[in-house]
C-alpha cells in the first residue's frame, strides 16, 4: 500500500482551529517517522473553513476533500472507504482538538500487539442529555455485540485495514453513527483490542452542531440503525 497510515478527519465549521489542528497532526506524525496521509474532509462548511483548507491543498501529506453536507457519520464512512485502499492502518479523529494529537503516539507505539486500539476519553464533562445518550449507546453495543470496546463512539481510534475494510463495505451510506457499528463489530470478533485512556479537553472554539431536540432525534436514529445492523 502507498502509506503506513491514513488519518480520516471530518471537518465542519472549524475555521477558528482547523489550521492549528492540521499542523499539530502533521508535526506529531512527522516526528514519529510515519509515511502518512491526512484525509481532511470538509462536510459542506458554511464558514471560512474551506478557504483555510486551501493552504493544505498542495501538501503531499494532506488530501483536502470538499463535499456537500451529509453529516458527521456519512463523512467518516466516506473517509474510511477511501483510507482502507491506501494503508494497512486507519486512524480517525475529529477536528475540534478535544483530544490532542500528541496522545496518538500512545496508540501507535502499541499497534503491533493489537488489531484495534481505542482512545478512551478521560476527564470528559457532558450535559445530562449527552451523558444519558452515551450510556444508552454503550449499553446497546454491549447487549448486541459485547463490551470489549469501552468508549463505543470514541473519535480517536486506530484500526487495521484488513479488519476495518469488510465492515465499512457493509455499513449503509446514510448511517448516522458508523463508529458505533464498527465498535460493535470489532467487539464481537476475536480480534485483539486495546482501550487506552487519553486526556479529553472541552471544545475551545466553534459550536456543537447537534443540539437540543436534534440530539435526541439523532440518537434515536443511531440506536435504530445499530440494532438493525447484521454484519456477516
Q: Where along the chain do its domains lie? A: 5-228
What pLDDT does residue 121 have? Answer: 84
- Predicted TM-score (pTM) of the model is 0.84
What pLDDT does residue 54 have? Answer: 98
Positive/negative CA dihedral, 48, 52, 57, 60: negative
Cα–Cα distance list, 229 to 125, 143, 193 (Å): 30, 13, 21
Number of Cβ within a 10 Å radius of residue 105: 13
Round the average pLDDT of the chain to a whole number and report it: 86
> Confidence band (pLDDT; 50, 70, 90) for 151?
confident
Of the listed ranges 26-30, 158-162, 197-201, the one predicted with least confidence: 197-201
Give the contacts of 157 (CB within 8 A, at least 6 positions apart).
Answer: 91, 92, 116, 117, 118, 119, 179, 182
**What is the DSSP code (8-state) at residue 16?**
T
Superfamily of domain 5-228: Spore Coat Polysaccharide Biosynthesis Protein SpsA; Chain A (3.90.550.10)
What pLDDT does residue 145 have? Answer: 63
What pLDDT does residue 211 have? Answer: 47
Please state, in angstroms and rounded to a whole number, the distance separating the CA atoms of residues 47 and 125.
27
Average pLDDT over residues 193-205: 84
Residues 89-127 have pLDDT tens digits of: 999 999 999 999 999 999 999 999 999 999 998 866 545
What pLDDT does residue 174 have? Answer: 86
Distance between alpha carbon 184 and the CA centroid of its chain, in Å? 15
Percent of the chain beyond pLDDT 70? 76
* DSSP assignments along 201-225, one per residue: ----SS--SS-HHHHHHHHHHHHHH
What pLDDT does residue 208 have? Answer: 52
Percent of the chain beyond pLDDT 90? 63
For residue 36, pLDDT over 80 is answered with yes
What pLDDT does residue 219 have? Answer: 58
What pLDDT does residue 213 have? Answer: 47
Average pLDDT over residues 17-38: 98
Amino acid at each position: 500500500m502507498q502509506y503506513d497510515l491514513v488519518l480520516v478527519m471530518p471537518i465542519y465549521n472549524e475555521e477558528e482551529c482547523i489550521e492549528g489542528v492540521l499542523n499539530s497532526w502533521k508535526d506529531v506524525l512527522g516526528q514519529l517517522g510515519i509515511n502518512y496521509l491526512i484525509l481532511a474532509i470538509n462536510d459542506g462548511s458554511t464558514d471560512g473553513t474551506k478557504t483555510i483548507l486551501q493552504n493544505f491543498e498542495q501538501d503531499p501529506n494532506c488530501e483536502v476533500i470538499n463535499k456537500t453536507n451529509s453529516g458527521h457519520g456519512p463523512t467518516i464512512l466516506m473517509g474510511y472507504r477511501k483510507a482502507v485502499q491506501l494503508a494497512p492502518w486507519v486512524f480517525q479523529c475529529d477536528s475540534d482538538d478535544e483530544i490532542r494529537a500528541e496522545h496518538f503516539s500512545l496508540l501507535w507505539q502499541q499497534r503491533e500487539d493489537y488489531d484495534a486500539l481505542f482512545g478512551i476519553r478521560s476527564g470528559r464533562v457532558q450535559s445530562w442529555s449527552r451523558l444519558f445518550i452515551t450510556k444508552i449507546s454503550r449499553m446497546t453495543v454491549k447487549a448486541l455485540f459485547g463490551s470489549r470496546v469501552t468508549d463505543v463512539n470514541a473519535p480517536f481510534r486506530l484500526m487495521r485495514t484488513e479488519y476495518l475494510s469488510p465492515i465499512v463495505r457493509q455499513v449503509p451510506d446514510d448511517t448516522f453513527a458508523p463508529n458505533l457499528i464498527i465498535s460493535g463489530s470489532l467487539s464481537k470478533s476475536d480480534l485483539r483490542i486495546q482501550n487506552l485512556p487519553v486526556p479529553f479537553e472541552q471544545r475551545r472554539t466553534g459550536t456543537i452542531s447537534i443540539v437540543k431536540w436534534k440530539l435526541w432525534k439523532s440518537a434515536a436514529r443511531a440506536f435504530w440503525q445499530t440494532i438493525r445492523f447484521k454484519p456477516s
